[in-house]
């Protein structure tokens, strides 16, 4: 069974493996339907999408229209100003065929001047608060990528009491001392304030480089079950974080299989051996 954990202070006990619906970017509807069957069969009760994930909201919404909303549903807006963000939230609800989403997230807020615009007069923060007050969303989160994301998330938490944060987390990236220090500082704040910590890029092998891209992820993922086991179990070794699955429906079954079999975090020796054997590289430097 995939372990569960209270998703911050939302009151929802989410599976620690959250389905990342970026995998539905341009997926045929029949494959979307089969994947949704798979996640429900595996007990996944939390789905994360975004307005910028290609056709994801539309495809997921078609499934919801036919089957109902059976999980905690989160989406994201990448807009930075109030009206454009509010309009996008309403459009997301229409595409998803729901009157309300459980969570709206500020998408990719890890650069200036985006951050200042978002929190300034007429910024996206005003839109998400309005949407929450109107009952269109229940909770508000913030997401980001790259090494500076921990600094930006800490700044964001000084400005607003977000319900969740989302950022990269894997063994290779945590070898970057600066990133590790920032992550641990952010994690401590989130733990103290009962803010959910979602992690992405958990099964990253490297940037694509010269390798022929054969996956729908924008980075090269781990492929073999034993390797995915190590990466997933390492993330799960931090008992207070969630793992958002990679954006490829064909790798998803292996990630779910690994999540079911988690017992303990692999040793540093095992993780360093994996890194050396596959010449793994950090996605962000």
| pLDDT grade for 212, boundaries at 50, 70 and 90 | confident
At residue 232 the predicted structure's pLDDT band, cuts being 50, 70 and 90, is: very high
CA distance 133 to 264: 41
Which pLDDT does position 244 carry in this prediction? Answer: 98
Share of the chain above pLDDT 70, in %: 99
d(CA 92, CA 107): 14
For residue 211, pLDDT over 70 is answered with no
- pLDDT single digits (tens) 265-277: 999 999 999 999 9
Integer Cα distance of 36 and 66 in angstroms: 12
Identify the band that residue 209 occupies on the pLDDT scale cut at 50, 70 and 90. confident
This prediction's pTM: 0.97
Helices (H), the chain: 29-41, 56-67, 82-96, 114-119, 124-133, 149-159, 177-193, 225-236, 252-260, 268-277
pLDDT tens digits, one per residue of 38-48:
999 999 999 99
**Phi, psi (degrees; rounded to nearest 5) at 92:** -60, -45
Calculate mean pLDDT across residues 94-115: 98
Task: Name the percent of the chain lying above pLDDT 90.
Answer: 96
Listed residue (266, 276, 200) closest to 231, CA to CA: 266
- Alpha helix stretches (DSSP H) within 120-247: 124-133, 149-159, 177-193, 225-236
Average pLDDT, integer, range 173-181: 98
Q: Which CATH architecture has domain 4-277?
A: Alpha-Beta Barrel (3.20)
Cα dist from 169 to 25, 60, 179, 197, 283, whole Å: 23, 26, 10, 10, 11
Q: What's the confidence (pLDDT) of residue 82?
A: 98
């Amino acid at each position: 069974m995939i372990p569960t954990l209270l998703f911050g202070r939302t009151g929802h006990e989410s599976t620690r493996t959250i389905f990342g619906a970026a995998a539905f970017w341009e997926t045929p509807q029949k494959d979307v339907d089969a994947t949704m069957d798979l996640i429900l069969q595996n007990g996944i009760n939390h789905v994360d999408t975004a307005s910028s994930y290609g056709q994801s909201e539309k495809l997921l919404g078609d499934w919801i229209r036919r089957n109902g909303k059976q999980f905690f549903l989160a989406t994201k807006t990448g807009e930075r100003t109030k009206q454009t963000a509010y309009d996008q939230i309403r459009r997301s609800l229409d595409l998803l065929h729901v009157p309300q989403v459980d969570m709206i997230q500020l998408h990719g807020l890890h650069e200036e001047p985006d951050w200042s615009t978002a929190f300034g007069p007429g910024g996206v923060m005003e839109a998400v608060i309005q949407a929450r007050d109107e009952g269109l969303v229940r909770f508000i989160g913030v997401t980001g990528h790259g090494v500076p994301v921990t600094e930006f998330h800490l700044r964001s938490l000084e400005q607003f009491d977000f319900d969740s944060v989302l950022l990269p987390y894997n063994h290779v990236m945590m070898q970057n001392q600066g990133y590790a220090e920032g992550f641990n500082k952010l994690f401590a704040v989130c733990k103290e304030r009962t803010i959910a910590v979602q992690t992405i890029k958990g099964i990253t092998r490297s940037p694509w480089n010269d390798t022929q891209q054969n996956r729908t992820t924008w980075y090269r993922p781990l492929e073999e079950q034993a390797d995915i086991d190590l990466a997933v179990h390492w993330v799960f070794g931090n008992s207070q974080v969630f793992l958002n699955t990679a954006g490829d429906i064909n790798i998803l079954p292996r990630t779910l299989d690994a999540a079911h079999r988690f017992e303990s975090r692999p040793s540093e020796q095992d993780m360093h051996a994996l890194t050396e054997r596959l010449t793994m590289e950090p996605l962000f430097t």
